[in-house]
Structure 1
Amino acid sequence: MSARTLISPGRYVQGRGAVHQLGEYLAQLGSTPLIVADDLVWGFLGHDVEDSLRKADLPVHRAGFGGVPSENEVDRLAGVIREHGADVVLAVGGGSTIDAVKAAGFLAGTRWATFPTMASTDAPCSALSVIYTEDGGFSEYRFFPRNPDLVLVDSQVVANAPAQFLVAGVGDALATWLEARATAQSGARTMAGGLPTLTGTALAKLSWEVLWDNAIEAVDAVREHQVTPAVERVIEANTLLSGLGFESGGLAAAHAIHNGLTAVGATHGLTHGQKVNLGSLTQLVLEGAPSAEIREFVEFTTRLGLPTTLTEAGLRTDDPDTLRIVADAATAPAETIHSMPFEVRGEDVLAALVSVERLARRIRADAKLPEPVPHRAH
């Protein structure tokens, strides 16, 4: 029998202006930090990060990020960490930067911390990294013996980012409860390495509830770069609640279908959360969820601007060969789709994907929501 397990970051800090406390918290972890951030992020945040570290009597050294958390990029960063002699490495940026830094920090044998500049994924809190191929396809999950020592989120920095990133984070986080409840039913092991705890499952459900109550209002506020109570709640749901919930509550079909979608070039250019949202809807179809639940999910996520059709992912129902690639990748032996409380085969995923197109279009038409806009890969 497997034990029940809950894992979490050492400290979570969130609030407007939190960047000014970064040095204070980082100094508790080490005296020779290395910051990893791409040039774009450093251009608008570097001054505040430098100022905070210097006030804490910490040196400022930065390494760039290559853009994709691939095996080669992780190995390169691990070499930079060793060469610098860093005792803590800080990721400043989005989920790709964070995943690369966690993996590199583990290889280099140092502590790691995260400063997400957007609330677009639940990567900042977790003890795993998603590794991709150089062209953006899913390669593997890498698991680590601990979570980040520090996760610090400046709510104003998140609100200053394009609203599409917050929307993507909602798409990622909404899957947390759908997958956790499936894992709880099946009794499968979670990404934390044990059975789900009541706490992990409850946090996943709380993430769902917070998003349904606050997401639309929060996205409207972020379009004006404002931080409101709704924005703070959604940042926490996307980052902390979803991070704890997916890792200690369990992943199932939605993220496996996301991974399948990355296997075809047509979906490249979509965010992680956009692909996950299509995976969530497909999971609901696979489950035979009540029509009312599916309708509410399609209407809610469409209003947020998330894709609910194959068309919006650059796919077509009359291209079964491409959809078969997605379905086969989603049902690979090691995939989390096998945490569903019933057997799922490639044919089942293929049928669900095809049915989603007409189903979502009908729901959207009935609700007088916009027609799907085809996605063009780039």
Structure 2
Amino acid sequence: MTIRAFGAPHRYIQGPGALDQLGPMLAIYGRRAFVVADRIVAGLLKDRLTAATADHLEAITFGDFGGECTAAEIDRMTAAATAAGSDVVIGLGGGKAIDTAKGVRIARGGGLIIMPTIASNDSPTSRLAILYTADHVLSEVRLMATNPDAVIVDTEIIVQAPVRFFVAGIGDALTKKFEAEQCYRTGGLNFYKARPPELALAIADRCYQVIRAQGEKATADVRARTATEAVESVVEATILMSGLGFESGGLSLAHSLTRGFSAIPELAAALHGEQVAYGLLAQLVVERRPADFLSDFRGFYQRLGLPLKLADLGFTGDRGAALRTIAERTIAEAPYIRQIEAELDVAKLTAALEQVEAAI
């Protein structure tokens, strides 16, 4: 009998004005904070963070994050955090800044609080730090010993970001139900090197239900820069439920395809959620889902603005060659490519991708 395991942040706080909860939360973990944030994000939020933490910290130092989560950038931010004498790190911004903050925590220890400013993926809750090369090719995955100490999501900030990020977060979250189910059925392992518990599958399924029920309204509300109840529910799905669903539930083909996409510069430049949303279409084809199910899915994608073709991800080159490259790299390199019931090889995966491209 195989061990089951589930993990999560110690605390998750979400809602309008949630940034104001940062000070009391920081005080639990340290007195000298180091913030990993780029200049744009720091310029927008530095004063608010400083005011929110003034009564709870001895010092707060802002690192000038360079924009890509590379090994060199983690080393640079780690050196800056050490020079500041920090005992708690704050990851403020998008997934790259968040993962760099995780890298600093891996190197130095101490507390870690994540504050996403966009809801484009589910990285805030997880132990994973995804590293890239300087030219944006995925290079390695590093793991923290535990999940972040706290995740604080201020939805008033989230709705100010371009709607493309919000839609990408929906794309990322949509995959989790289907990937967790495949991982479970094939005897695969989650990111704790254990079997997915029933709870993880329940969370992934609820994540999907919320997005299908409220995703379109929430997207319209974000376009209007309004943090409605629909937005709150979808943000909880795309950050919290999606994060718990993938880390404790496991991944499958949809996320495996990012290895292939990273080999093609035009596709590598797409947002993670856009990439895996396309990957989910391929997974559903491989699963032999009925035509009406696939048609319904494509309609939902179209209404939200999620990618249906490589062209929607920015690709303009030789499509046939690109599909084979994607399949080859995915089969050769993706760590969870075998966590799917269908037997896959390069030819079969290429055929599935061709079917996605041919769909009307």
Verify same fold: TM over 0.5: yes
What is the identity, as a one-letter code, of the residue corresponding to 1:24? P
Q: Hey, what does 2:276 align to over in structure 1?
A: 276
SS at match of 1:24: helix
SS at match of 2:59: coil
Q: Hey, what does 2:181 align to over in structure 1?
A: 181
State whether residues 27 and 56 of structure 1, in contact with CA within 8 Å, keep that contact through their aligned partners in structure 2: yes
SS at match of 1:193: coil
Q: Hey, what does 1:163 align to over in structure 2?
A: 163
Q: Hey, what does 1:233 align to over in structure 2?
A: 233
Q: Does residue 254 of the first structure (1) align with residue 254 of the second (2)?
A: yes
Greater shift in the superposed pair: 134-143 or 7-16: 134-143
State whether residues 138 and 259 of structure 1, in contact with CA within 8 Å, keep that contact through their aligned partners in structure 2: yes
- In the TM superposition, what is the alpha-carbon distance from 1:333 to its structure 2 partner? 4.6
In 2: Cα distance, 1:309 partner to 1:322 partner: 12
What is the identity, as a one-letter code, of the residue corresponding to 1:68? E
Q: Does residue 199 of the first structure (1) align with residue 199 of the second (2)?
A: yes
Greater shift in the superposed pair: 280-289 or 75-84: 75-84
Greater shift in the superposed pair: 308-317 or 41-50: 308-317
In 2: Cα distance, 1:318 partner to 1:293 partner: 29
* Structure 1 residues 345 and 58: alpha-carbon distance in aligned structure 2, compared to 1, 3 A threshold: farther
Deviations, residues 275-305 of structure 1 (Å, cap 9, x unaligned): 1110010111111112122111111011101
Q: Hey, what does 1:342 align to over in structure 2?
A: 342
Q: Hey, what does 1:6 align to over in structure 2?
A: 6
SS at match of 1:339: coil
Greater shift in the superposed pair: 49-58 or 175-184: 49-58
What is the identity, as a one-letter code, of the residue corresponding to 2:195? L
SS at match of 2:341: coil
In 2: Cα distance, 1:169 partner to 1:203 partner: 16
In 1: Cα distance, 2:88 partner to 2:237 partner: 27
Q: Does residue 32 of the first structure (1) align with residue 32 of the second (2)?
A: yes
In 2: Cα distance, 1:310 partner to 1:276 partner: 12
* Structure 1 residues 317 and 354: alpha-carbon distance in aligned structure 2, compared to 1, 3 A threshold: farther
What is the identity, as a one-letter code, of the residue corresponding to 2:336? T
SS at match of 1:146: coil
- In the TM superposition, what is the alpha-carbon distance from 1:43 to its structure 2 partner? 1.5
SS at match of 1:63: strand
In 2: Cα distance, 1:242 partner to 1:210 partner: 11
In 2: Cα distance, 1:158 partner to 1:111 partner: 24
Q: Hey, what does 2:323 align to over in structure 1?
A: 323
In 2: Cα distance, 1:334 partner to 1:318 partner: 23
In 1: Cα distance, 2:273 partner to 2:179 partner: 14
* Structure 1 residues 317 and 61: alpha-carbon distance in aligned structure 2, compared to 1, 3 A threshold: closer
Alignment of 1:1-378 (within 5 A): 1-315=1-315, 318-359=318-359, 362=360
Greater shift in the superposed pair: 80-89 or 6-15: 80-89
In 2: Cα distance, 1:196 partner to 1:180 partner: 8
What is the identity, as a one-letter code, of the residue corresponding to 1:330? T
- In the TM superposition, what is the alpha-carbon distance from 1:316 to its structure 2 partner? 6.3
Provide the aligned C-alpha RMSD in A.
Answer: 1.4
In 2: Cα distance, 1:127 partner to 1:248 partner: 11
SS at match of 1:338: coil
Deviations, residues 158-190 of structure 1 (Å, cap 9, x unaligned): 011111111010000001111011111111001
State whether residues 42 and 62 of structure 2, in contact with CA within 8 Å, keep that contact through their aligned partners in structure 1: no
Percent sequence identity is: 37
- In the TM superposition, what is the alpha-carbon distance from 1:80 to its structure 2 partner? 1.8
In 1: Cα distance, 2:2 partner to 2:84 partner: 40
Provide structure 2 residue ranges, at least 5 long, that are not aligned to the other structure.
none
State whether residues 286 and 342 of structure 2, in contact with CA within 8 Å, keep that contact through their aligned partners in structure 1: no
- In the TM superposition, what is the alpha-carbon distance from 1:312 to its structure 2 partner? 1.3
Q: TM-score, normalised by structure 2?
A: 0.96
SS at match of 1:61: strand
- In the TM superposition, what is the alpha-carbon distance from 1:313 to its structure 2 partner? 2.2
SS at match of 2:14: strand
What is the identity, as a one-letter code, of the residue corresponding to 1:150? A
What is the identity, as a one-letter code, of the residue corresponding to 1:196? P
SS at match of 2:141: strand
SS at match of 1:121: coil
- In the TM superposition, what is the alpha-carbon distance from 1:317 to its structure 2 partner? 8.9
Provide structure 1 residue ranges, at least 5 long, that are not aligned to the other structure.
363-378
In 1: Cα distance, 2:168 partner to 2:326 partner: 21
In 2: Cα distance, 1:156 partner to 1:18 partner: 8
Give the length in aligned residue pairs. Answer: 360
State whether residues 23 and 58 of structure 1, in contact with CA within 8 Å, keep that contact through their aligned partners in structure 2: no
Deviations, residues 254-286 of structure 1 (Å, cap 9, x unaligned): 011123112111214311111111001011111
